[in-house]
Amino acid sequence: MAWLQDQLDQISEKTRQLVQPERLQPSERAVSELFASGIEQQILPVGSLAPEFILPDANGRKVRSSDLLALGPLIVNFFRGRWCPYCMTELNAWRDLYPQVRMKGALLVAISPQTQHQNNLLLQQYDAQQTLPFPVLSDPGSAVAESFRLAYTVPLYHQKHYRRILVNVPFMNGDATWRLPLPATYVIRPDGAIAFAQAHADFRVRPEPEDVLAAL
Averaged pLDDT in 10-residue chunks for the chain of 216 residues: 87 90 92 97 98 97 98 98 97 96 98 97 85 96 98 97 96 97 98 98 96 97
Alpha helices in the chain (DSSP H): 3-18, 21-36, 39-42, 65-69, 85-103, 116-124, 143-147, 156-164, 169-173, 209-214
Burial class (CB in 10 A: 0-12, 13-18, 19+), 40: middle
Domain ranges of the chain: 21-40+47-214
Q: Tell me, which fold does domain 21-40+47-214 have in CATH?
A: Glutaredoxin (3.40.30)
Tell which phi-psi region holds residue 112, choosing left (phi > 0), alpha (psi between -120 and 50) or beta.
beta
Residues 92-148 have pLDDT tens digits of: 999 999 999 999 999 999 999 999 999 999 999 887 678 899 999 999 999 999 999
